[in-house]
Amino acid sequence: MFDSTTRTLVVVGAQWGDEGKGKLVDVLAEKADWVVRYQGGANAGHTVQIGEKSFVLHQIPSGILHGGVRCAIGNGVVMDPETLFTEVDELVADGVDVEGRLYVSERAHLVMPYHKLVDKASAASKAIGTTGRGIGPAYEDKVARRGVRVLDLRSPERLRELVTTGVERANAQLAWSGSDLRASVEETLAALAGLTPRLLAIADDVGLCIHRAIRNGAAVLLEGAQGSLLDIDHGTYPYVTSSNTTVGGAATGVGISPMALDAALGVVKAYTTRVGNGPLPTEFDEPLQTQVRTLGREFGATTGRARRCGWFDGVVVRYAARVNGLTGLAITKLDVLDTLDRLAVCTGYTIDGEVHTEFPADLQMLDRAEPVYEWFDGWKQSTQDARRLDALPSAARLYLDRLEELCDAPIAYVSVGTRRDQIIGVHATVA
**CB closer to ligand GDP out of 22 and 147:** 22
Is 148 a residue that touches ligand GDP (CB under 6 A)? no
**Of 43, 47, 75, 246, which lies in the binding site for ligand GDP, with binding defined by CB under 6 A?**
47
Residues sharing a CB contact under 8 Å with residue 113, sequence separation 6 or more, in sequence order: 82, 134, 183, 187, 188, 191
3-class SS of residue 237: coil
**Contact between 429 and 3 (Cβ < 8 Å):** yes
Active site residue 58: no
Compute the least distance from the CB of residue 1 to ligand GDP, in Å: 17
> Which region among 21-29, 81-89, 117-125, 204-212 touches ligand GDP (by CB under 6 A)?
21-29
Distance CA 10, CA 327 (A): 10
Q: What is the dihedral of CA 401, 403, 404, 405, to 10 degrees?
A: 90
Strands (E), 162-298: 203-204, 220-223, 263-269, 272-274
Q: Are strands 272-274 and 46-50 parallel, antiparallel or unpaired?
A: unpaired
**CB closer to ligand GDP out of 331 and 369:** 331
Compute the least distance from the CB of residue 9 to ligand GDP, in Å: 16
Q: Is the dihedral of CA 120, 123, 125, 131 positive or negative?
A: positive
Neighbours of 259 (CB within 10 A): 8
**CB closer to ligand GDP out of 122 and 415:** 415
Compute the least distance from the CB of residue 103 to ligand GDP, in Å: 21
> Which region among 14-22, 145-153, 185-193, 237-245 touches ligand GDP (by CB under 6 A)?
14-22
> Which region among 16-24, 80-88, 93-101, 181-189 touches ligand GDP (by CB under 6 A)?
16-24
3-class SS of residue 328: strand
Compute the least distance from the CB of residue 25 to ligand GDP, in Å: 8
**CB closer to ligand GDP out of 369 and 396:** 396
Site size with ligand GDP, rule: CB under 6 A? 20
Contact string (CB under 6 A) for ligand GDP, positions 302-341, x = contact = ------------------------------xx-xx-----
**Contact between 359 and 315 (Cβ < 8 Å):** yes
Compute the least distance from the CB of residue 82 to ligand GDP, in Å: 21
**Of 18, 82, 106, 313, which lies in the binding site for ligand GDP, with binding defined by CB under 6 A?**
18
Tell me, rounded to whole angstroms, the distance of Cα 5 from its chain centroid. 26
Strands (E), 74-142: 78-79, 102-105, 109-110
Which one of the listed residues 26, 46, 58, 335 is annotated catalytic? Answer: 46
3-class SS of residue 428: coil
Is 23 a residue that touches ligand GDP (CB under 6 A)? yes
- Is there a cis peptide before residue 287, judged by omega within 30 degrees of 0? yes
Active site residue 66: no
Strands (E), 190-255: 203-204, 220-223
Is 20 a residue that touches ligand GDP (CB under 6 A)? yes
Contact string (CB under 6 A) for ligand GDP, positions 274-303, x = contact = ---------------------------x--
**Nearest CA-CA partner of 38 in 56, 23, 21:** 21
Residues classed as catalytic: 18, 46
Q: Which residues bind ligand GDP (CB under 6 A)?
A: 13, 18-23, 45-47, 49, 301, 332-333, 335-336, 415-418
